[in-house]
Structure 1
Amino acid sequence: MTHIKTINTETLRDWLETEKEVSIIDIRPIQERAEWYIPQSIHINAYDKLKANDKSAFQGLHLQKNIPVVVICAGGKTSLIGAEILQNQGFDAYSLEGGMKAWSLSWNTAKITFPNFKIIQLRRTGKGCLSYIIVSNNEAIIVDASLSVEVYQQILEQQNLTLKYVIETHIHADHISRSKQLAENNTVPLFLPYPNKVTFEFEPITNNTIFELGDIKIKAIKTPGHTLESTVFLIDEKVLLSGDTLFTNGVGRPDLKANNDEALEKAKKLYQSLQTLLSLEDSVIVLPSHTSQPVDFDNQPIQTTIGFVKNNVAMLQLDEKDFTDTILQRIPPTPTNYLSIVELNLKGDFSDVNSIDLEAGANRCAIS
């Protein structure tokens, strides 16, 4: 019997990070692939054949025998069948342990550097969650922590940074927030936008709260709409951490945890908040909290500018009524498990939660 080789997500992440040659074969049904996928992967319509243990599932697939092949499915079971077939055909084939569910926590980084500060963008590559470490004069603030606490700790230690605060743009609905744990582990204040319904202690962020970090100042700007507490952060007048209010190609959805009337009211608030942001200098760089595409291992920050979105995101050129009508007509499907995730983020206790199952799937925060 063939010993089927497997690979974990950390190893595959390292391979992609170091640009090792690898063929990644996605055998999920096409509708699952359309939701989210691993960068560089190739989709093969082989799922039904593999379920039937059909040895011809990969017929017509041309791969180089000297390059490792990683087969992926949703949970790491059907991919075992695929890896075994490819191994028997002479390929150095592996099944990805835990499949796309496990891949959800994989990440990579990109960096933007300015004369007196830098920003590290941490990206959950499959899920599209973006978090940030702002650094000035060896002091750091972490924003919207969505990865395991160990990832941030490792970067803080490697770069000899002193964590000063942990902050959030809003209460998230698609991932478990690691901010409370991060603040507790480092004995630093946790700042959250106000008003908000969390059941644990925090320092409130109000309009125009100023965070001093090293040689720079970071100003909070209230932007209700996506959620009522949504807040963005203007760093040194040069960079806007725009949360889920403004994306590189769209805006935040206003309908979660809202009935139709409440969604309309939130859409109106979102319009007004966006007008505030569009009045900033055109050169201000926009760094959102999510992207709707899988994030390549290319070290390129996911960013845009106020000037670019003003001219290229059509709905930002509409008046209030047309904007709200358009937004409410384009609401995407409701995110999986979002109510459970919000409730957990309000409680701040995830000790008995399987985060991989809970967070599986792409984010659906944006309307474009």
Structure 2
Amino acid sequence: MKALTAAEISKIVMNQERLFILDVRNEADYKDWKIEGKNITSLNKPYFELLDGVEEILPSLPADEKILVVCAKEGSSKFVAEMLEEAGVSEVSYLMGGMKSWSEYLQPVKVYEDENMKVLQFIRVGKGCLSYMVISGEEALVVDPSRFLSVYEQTAKEIGARITHIVDSHLHADHISGGRELAEKTKSEYFLMKSEGAVFDFNGLEDYQEIQFANVHLQVLAVKTPGHTPGSVSFFVNGQLLFSGDTIFVGGLGRPDLGGKVREWAEDLYHTVYNQVAEIADDVIVLPGHYASLDEEKNQSGYIGDTLGNIRSRNDMMNNKEITEFVELVVENAKTSTPPNFEEIVAINRGQLQVDGDKQQELEIGPNRCALHHSH
């Protein structure tokens, strides 16, 4: 019986290979968040219902597909996988580290390269979070880093670059930022909007129109791009790439309701979309902070992003809307469930609350819910 790692499952999902998953977590946890993909089929049967044997579910399992058993941390899935193997099921495996490991794995993908810079995207497949590294010469800048610092440190080391700049596009609500800690470890400059209310030392993005290093001009959009949070910013790099944070997604816009001021922030989002972003050329590549589905991987390179022109053409919220209609649509669409634990996560990212690693892991479990609207 094999143990598969989150990295191996990530490749299966991103390559759209067939896989059958037997998820033995509680029904509520399964309904809230599970491993999904184009050719992934799953069945939920809670572990406690299988303690007396797996015979009753055998007819529900495919005879000709690989079967992966998953649970929260690993132990239950390993036990069930062993029972399946004893019952004669071939090609059965379990997820090493359980759904916790799935939540934390980052898949690096190359987005772009020219004589001035190389850009990598880190896809947190189990969470829908995206972070980035821009390498130029011997320096590197990290955008919206997760708390798994070793991934960025190791990547920079392999490339022969030193992390010198770190930017957070906004105060994240669904995951814990690694920005401040990564800056301390690498002695880098850390940038965030002052209006996000962080209580530790950092460089306020209000004071910068541009951040320069090596051959990179990272333009902090001169008029900020609020909407998802009051201090959301987007970064325009060398006139070619737009790191859009949670303001614009491949399939939607950031939700502006998490601060309890949905109408005010929706108006900000409208002005961002119809004034600032409207001036950016169609061929600019948008690289967002999150994604809702791997269907948003719209290109041969395997990264998640698309040209601004394609995004505009698909997203009716970005076209010919009057402000009143736009705000009403936002209010209606924002009635989906909020990110779990978002108030605690925001407090941690603001520097007002400190928790240990186990608590951080617990707070982050689950899907991202930062998108407001997905176009079809």
TM-score category, normalised to shorter length? 0.7 to 0.9
Q: 2: distance between equivalents of 1:143 and 1:187? A: 16
Deviates more, 1:267-276 or 1:293-302: 293-302
Alignment equivalent of 1:32, drawn from 15, 30, 33: 30
For residues 66-104 of structure 1, what are the alpha-carbon distances to aligned partners after superposition, in whole Å with 9 as ceiling and x for unaligned?
x6x431134445424431232111535333244223310
Query: Could you say if the C-alpha distance between residues 105 and 175 of structure 1 is closer, same or farther in structure 2, counting changes exceeding 3 Å?
Result: same
Contact 1:126-1:295 within 8 A present in 2 as well: no
Alignment equivalent of 2:324, drawn from 308, 311, 321: 321
Contact 1:17-1:108 within 8 A present in 2 as well: no
Counterpart of 1:315, as a letter, is: M
Counterpart of 2:110, as a letter, is: K
Contact 2:171-2:349 within 8 A present in 1 as well: yes
Aligned to 1:356: 361
Aligned to 1:185: 185
Query: Could you say if the C-alpha distance between residues 11 and 190 of structure 1 is closer, same or farther in structure 2, counting changes exceeding 3 Å?
Result: closer
Query: Could you say if the C-alpha distance between residues 11 and 316 of structure 1 is closer, same or farther in structure 2, counting changes exceeding 3 Å?
Result: closer
SS of residue in 1 equivalent to 2:121: strand
Deviates more, 1:91-100 or 1:153-162: 91-100
Deviates more, 1:90-99 or 1:222-231: 90-99
Q: 2: distance between equivalents of 1:118 and 1:215? A: 11
Counterpart of 2:83, as a letter, is: I
Aligned to 1:113: 112
What's the CA shift for 1:47?
Answer: 3.7
What's the CA shift for 1:362?
Answer: 0.5
Q: 2: distance between equivalents of 1:87 and 1:291? A: 36
Paired positions, count: 359
Q: 2: distance between equivalents of 1:296 and 1:201? A: 36
**TM-score (norm. length: structure 2):** 0.86
For residues 285-333 of structure 1, what are the alpha-carbon distances to aligned partners after superposition, in whole Å with 9 as ceiling and x for unaligned?
1000000125899951111122112221011122111111001101120
Contact 1:225-1:245 within 8 A present in 2 as well: yes
User: Residue 366 in 1 paired to residue 371 in 2?
Assistant: yes
* Structure 2 alignment gaps of length 5 or more: none
Alignment equivalent of 2:350, drawn from 322, 346, 356: 346
Aligned to 1:130: 130
Counterpart of 1:241, as a letter, is: F
Counterpart of 1:284, as a letter, is: V
Aligned to 1:273: 272
SS of residue in 1 equivalent to 2:292: coil
Deviates more, 1:157-166 or 1:295-304: 295-304
Q: 2: distance between equivalents of 1:170 and 1:239? A: 18
1:227-306 superposed matches below 5 A: 227-258=229-260, 262-275=261-274, 276-293=276-293, 300-306=302-308
Aligned to 1:154: 154
Q: 1: distance between equivalents of 2:51 and 2:247? A: 42
Aligned to 2:80: 82
**TM-score (norm. length: structure 1):** 0.88
Q: What RMSD, in angstroms, separates the aligned Cα atoms of the two structures? A: 2.9
What's the CA shift for 1:62?
Answer: 2.6
Deviates more, 1:334-343 or 1:211-220: 211-220
What's the CA shift for 1:233?
Answer: 0.1
Contact 1:120-1:133 within 8 A present in 2 as well: yes
SS of residue in 2 equivalent to 1:58: helix
Contact 2:347-2:353 within 8 A present in 1 as well: no
Counterpart of 1:358, as a letter, is: L
What's the CA shift for 1:148?
Answer: 0.6
What's the CA shift for 1:200?
Answer: 0.8
Contact 2:256-2:265 within 8 A present in 1 as well: yes
Deviates more, 1:109-118 or 1:24-33: 24-33
Counterpart of 1:141, as a letter, is: L
Q: 2: distance between equivalents of 1:326 and 1:214? A: 43
For residues 144-201 of structure 1, what are the alpha-carbon distances to aligned partners after superposition, in whole Å with 9 as ceiling and x for unaligned?
0014101101101001012120111000000010111111111111111232311110
Counterpart of 1:271, as a letter, is: Y
Which structure carries more relative contact order (alpha carbon 8 Å, separation 6+)? 1
Contact 1:132-1:143 within 8 A present in 2 as well: yes
Deviates more, 1:218-227 or 1:53-62: 53-62
Q: 1: distance between equivalents of 2:159 and 2:256? A: 38
Q: 2: distance between equivalents of 1:73 and 1:156? A: 33
Q: 2: distance between equivalents of 1:197 and 1:34? A: 31
Contact 1:22-1:70 within 8 A present in 2 as well: no
Q: 2: distance between equivalents of 1:271 and 1:36? A: 33
- Percentage of matched positions with identical amino acids: 30
Q: 1: distance between equivalents of 2:119 and 2:92? A: 38
Aligned to 2:94: 95
Q: 1: distance between equivalents of 2:311 and 2:11? A: 34
Query: Could you say if the C-alpha distance between residues 208 and 191 of structure 1 is closer, same or farther in structure 2, counting changes exceeding 3 Å?
Result: closer
SS of residue in 1 equivalent to 2:234: strand
Deviates more, 1:10-19 or 1:161-170: 10-19
Which is helix-richer, 1 or 2?
Answer: 2
Counterpart of 1:340, as a letter, is: E
Aligned to 2:311: 309
What's the CA shift for 1:213?
Answer: 2.4
Q: 2: distance between equivalents of 1:366 and 1:44? A: 27
Contact 2:32-2:367 within 8 A present in 1 as well: no
